[in-house]
Structure formats: structure tokens, C-alpha cells
Structure 1
């Protein structure tokens, strides 16, 4: 395990406060969600890595051949790399609940990690994810809180796939929540309100 797989913005949590991983979308960076997390959970720790794949200068967390066409071999390698990075930070902060959020490409790498390594997380929020494959069943997800947000007219992430992903998590027994709006790929205020409520709610 290593905490140095990525250049990252980090902040240590206060005692018993959660450690939050924040994964940016394509073209974002480690600062994309730092202010938002500070507003929602001011005592929380933060680990916000910078994507290490460049797509015409836009930072991402894994390669793709085209919109919605993933390099699955590259995704598999980088999923394990991200899992090791998260596990190392988790081990360095014993006793802190581990939350994670990702937007777009960040949501996709986060989902890929949680499919294989559900034990790393207490809560995850996937903002506008696109998972164009059927994940394997994973009973370990039954103890994970999951929020999915999306736009019903998102041209990048077809809404039917988003609904399918939500159904998958529900079938695994995850504590599932959703927040959908009638727009596209942009993050809207109702999503942010749902995210804030999800992250700040007391542990069950």
C-alpha cells in the first residue's frame, strides 16, 4: 500500500471525524471539490487525488477509446492502483469513517474500486456515473451507504444505465439513495443538497 500513487490535496481529520476521498471529473483537478467538502464537513479529513491520465490535456483516472468506450484493461490496472492508495490513507487514519465521492470520470473509477473493494468504504456518492458493464455480485456492499445523482437528459451518461446501476446496488443490499434532476451532465443544486445531507448525516 502507498499514499504516494497520486499527487493529492490532503488534510487530516479531527478526532473521530470522517476521512473523505474526492475524485474529480475529466478536466478537473484535486481542487474541484475541496471547498465543498470543507463546507459540508469542516472537521473531516480530505484526500483529493489528481488524475494521472491526460486526454488531450484533460486529466482523468483511466483511459478510454471514445465517449463511453473504456479501455477495460487500463481501468482494471488503475482500479487496483486507486484501491491501494485509498487503503493506505485509510490505514493511516484508524478510527475515521471513510467516505468517498466522485463526479463523472471520478465516479466511474470510484464505482470500479467499490465493486472490488467494498470493505474500504462506509459511504460513497457517485455523481453522474457511467458504468457500461454489469458488475459481479458483491454481498459486502450490504454495509455500504450509496448515493447516486444524475440528470435524466444527460447526453454522456444515459439515464437507463444510471437506473441500472442504482438497481445493482439495491440488489446487493446497499443503503441506496438517489437524487435525479431533469437536466444533463451538470451538477445542480438539488444534487449538492442531497450530497450534503448524505455525507453529514449521523452514522446508522
Structure 2
């Protein structure tokens, strides 16, 4: 199991330290700082656990490797997923918080989807901005109505048309409660993304919007 010191991260305590935090998983070339402002917009009362990917790339970091043809290295993502899951369990033991809600963007959204499919029950839910399926095969997973929000960009040059829909269908077959939106935008997160995600999170985690503890 990965110890807390084995992955660079930031933990910001919210109004209820025992509640569900937001698990922030950045995009390719990013760092653990990238989604902190987004977390304040989405769930101002929730704790935030922002994790840095372990692959150095493009002047920053990623959560898994790709092959030279840009397909996902499935052996690599599986191995790194286990390390991330172990790290998350160590953090839960140390801080005493409940199962987190993942907020993933791009590369981080793919890793969050992998956690949902390969470690069911680890997450309370997930918000996935611009994801795609992490695996080429479908796993016999049972997710017991885990709530998931997927938001795609119709003009996303870094995704193929239907990537998000295929992931949504896979998650639905596994038992997840999936909400799927396709926005008239590209790869970057927009104000419309934030509004949709905040409304979804407020319904899913009602305690998310009370005042953040000092």
C-alpha cells in the first residue's frame, strides 16, 4: 500500500473533516495545484485532496503513460491505479474522511474512470471532464448506483466523437447512475461545465455548499 509520503499532494480541510472530500486529479502536464480553484467553486465546504500524477510529462505530470500512438498503456494505468488507491486509503486512515468524490480533468478523468471500474466502492461519486474509457476491455464490475457526471466537449480536438458516450454506457452497464452532457465547446473546462458540475454536486452531496471551515 502506498504511504502518504509517496505521492505529492495537498490536503485542504473543509467544514466537516469526516465528510467526503473532493479528490482532484489534474490533466496531462498539470500539477496538484491546477484544480484547487475549481474545487472551491464546486464544493466550497468540502475538503480537497489534490494529488500529483507520478508520470513526468510536458513540463508537468500525468497519472499514466501512453504508447507512441497515443493509446493508453493499460498495464501502466492498472499498476499506477493500485498505487493511487493505496495512497487514498492511507489518507483516509490518517485524516478520517469518508469516501471521496473524484473530480478529474482529461488524463485525471481517465484515471478516475479507472478507479470507478477497477476499484468499485472506493469513490462516493465522480465528476469527469473530457474523459474516455481507460480500458479496451469491459470488466465484470458492480458499482451499486455510484453517481457519475460526464461532461464532453462537442468540439474537443483531443477526443474522438463518442468517447464520453462509450464510457457512460460502460459505467451504466456496471450499475452506475450516470448523467452525461455534451457541450458546444472544446477540451478546456468552461463556466458552463462548472455550473453543471456544481448543480450536480449539490444534489449528490448536499453538504458541499455550506461555509468552508477556517
User: How high is the TM-score relative to the length of structure 1?
Assistant: 0.90
Q: Matches of residues 158-177 of structure 1 in structure 2 within 5 Å?
A: 158-177=160-179
Shift of 1:93: 4.1
Is residue 23–residue 101 contact of structure 1 (8 Å, CA) maintained in 2?
Answer: yes
User: Is residue 29–residue 50 contact of structure 1 (8 Å, CA) maintained in 2?
Assistant: yes
Q: CA deviation at 1:42?
A: 2.2
Structure with higher RCO (Cα < 8 A, 6+ apart):
2
Output the CA distance in 2 between the equivalents of 1:203 and 1:192.
Answer: 15
Task: Count residues in correspondence.
Answer: 203
Residue in 2 that maps onto 1:106: 108
Q: Distance in 1 between matches of 2:79 and 2:187?
A: 27
Query: Pairwise mapping of residues 103-182 of structure 1 onto structure 2 (< 5 A)?
Result: 103-131=105-133, 133-139=136-142, 141-182=143-184
Contact 2:29 2:58 in 1 (8 A): no
- 2:147–2:204: 8 Å Cα contact kept in structure 1? no
**Alpha-carbon spacing, 1:34–1:203, altered in 2? closer, same or farther (3 Å):** closer
Change (3 A) 1:97 1:80: closer
* Counterpart check, 1:11 vs 2:6: no
- Work out whether residues 42 and 194 of structure 2, in 8 Å CA contact, stay in contact via their aligned partners in 1: no
* 1:203 to partner: Cα distance: 4.6
| CA deviation vs aligned residue, 1:133-159 (integer Å, no higher than 9, x gap) | 2331311x1231100011123221213
Q: Does 1:43 align with 2:45?
A: yes
Structure 1 residues 97 and 69, CA gap change in structure 2 (3 angstroms):
closer
Partner of 1:190: 192
In the alignment, structure 2 segments of 5+ residues that lack a partner are 207-214
CA distance in 2, matches of 1:201, 1:4: 34
CA distance 1:160–1:39, change in 2 (3 Å): closer
TM-score normalized by structure 2? 0.86
How far did 1:105 drift? Answer: 0.5
Q: Secondary structure at the match of 1:119?
A: coil
Gaps of 5+ in 1: none
For 1:69 and 1:95, the matched residues in 2 are separated by: 35
**How far apart, in 2, do the equivalents of 1:155 and 1:66 lie?**
18
Partner deviation per Cα, 1:81-133 (whole Å, 9 max, x = no partner): 11111222233344634211110000111111221112111111111012252
